[in-house]
Amino acid sequence: MRPIPARPRHQQRGVVLVAVLWIAAALVLIVAGIGSSAKGEVRSADGFRQRIAATALADGAIMLAARDLAAAATPTNAPVAGAYRVDGRPVAVEASPSSGWVNLNAAGRELLQAMLMIRAGLVERDAVRLAAAIVDWRDLDQMPQGDGGEDEAYQAAGSPYRPFNGGFQTPEDLLQVLGMSFDVFDSIKDCIAVTGADGGGVNPMAAPVEVLQILTGGDARLAEAIAARRAEGDPLLDLSALDGRFIDRAPAASYRLEAQVALPDGRRLSRVLWLRVNRARRGAGAVTVLRRDPVTVRSGDV
């Protein structure tokens, strides 16, 4: 077997040089990757810190607004906007009576049915059945509401849930109701609230446009026009086209408070709390937090 001839020394040096260059390049890439990853982690941590700080500012401003609501001589029947400074930062807060939303614990079957047909697009038969199931879930008896459902119906359907026979604690409880789907829930979640057993109707002066659409029988353009004129403070706002069966102007004891805080990157953090206000009490005892919605971050022009 013939021996392999040795490479000339200058060729060996060339091979070694190329290997060294490749190793150096690889090290540069590794270091650059580590540096980029570290910068990304720093930015992520800084963004998280800013979000936590902004959430705390929003919560503080909401509590200041709740204090003002509790101290007011009479309950407000329409949204009220305010500006507060917390730790030297400006925070905008809007307080809206919760009666502007469909209360899952008090709304009647007809209102629930209208919401399911208009907002979720259900046909009448399915809307009637699901509205009855919602009432059966919250009522105290074991007698089904028409095509609704009590324990036997859930068991026959193979559902892991059973009617609570008590009030809804969160809007998400609705997903346990027989016949409810994620798609239907997603289409109505902006219309509903859970605020005790008071308020079976809707206050049109506090209702968001999604709820106004229910009151207009599905006329989205009319709902948007009413919301726009209401925001402008039109003293002659015409509400005669709304479905009178679903209107309730009784003073609300609960409120939806939304605070917005500007972030350094130009976006805005939004924080929503649902509160019950007891004007008969003073101090911290006058306000009860019913729910904290997840924090959202939006573009600055929203």
User: Does residue 57 register a pLDDT over 90?
Assistant: yes
DSSP code at position 276: E
Is residue 236 domain-shared with residue 272, that is, in the same domain? Answer: no
Q: Cα torsion at 207, 121, 238, 104 (round to 10°)?
A: -30
Looking at the fold, whether 133 and 166 belong to one and the same domain comes out as: yes
Q: 121 to each of 2, 185, 187, how far by Cα in Å? A: 86, 12, 9
Out of 247, 264, 280, pick the residue that ends a domain: 247
pLDDT at 243 over 80: yes
Say yes or no to pLDDT of 2 above 70: no
Q: Is residue 106 part of a domain?
A: yes
Range in 4-13, 23-32, 117-126 with the lowest mean pLDDT: 4-13
Chain segment 196-217, per-residue pLDDT in tens:
766 789 999 999 999 999 999 9
* Residue showing tokens 């006329």: 219
Dist. CA 173–CA 156, nearest whole Å: 20
Same domain flag for 210 and 276: no
At 249, list the tokens: 């102007």
Look at the chain and report how many structural domains it folds into. Answer: 3
Contact 88, 181 (CB under 8 A): no
Q: What is the average pLDDT score of the chain?
A: 86
Structure tokens at 133: 């199931």
In a domain, 92, yes or no: yes
Distance CA 157, CA 134 (A): 16
Shared domain check, 160 and 116: yes
Q: What is the pTM of this model?
A: 0.81
Per-residue pLDDT of 11-20, as tens digits, reads: 555 566 666 6
Residues 65, 112, single domain; the answer is no
Phi, psi of 121 (to 5 degrees): 75, 20
Q: Is the pLDDT of residue 90 over 70?
A: yes
Domain assignment of residue 26, yes or no: no
Listing DSSP states for 13-52 in one string gives HHHHHHHHHHHHHHHHHHHHHHHHHHHHHHHHHHHHHHHH
Q: Could you tell me if 108 and 163 lie in one domain? A: yes
Query: What is the residue range of 290's domain?
Result: 58-100+251-298
Q: Which two tokens stand for residue 288?
A: 């009860």
- Which residue, 191, 214, 237, sits at the end of a domain? 191
Token duo for residue 20: 């060294």
CATH number of domain containing 121: 1.10.40.60
Instruction: Determine the pLDDT at residue 21.
Output: 66
Please report the pLDDT score of residue 270 as a whole number. 95
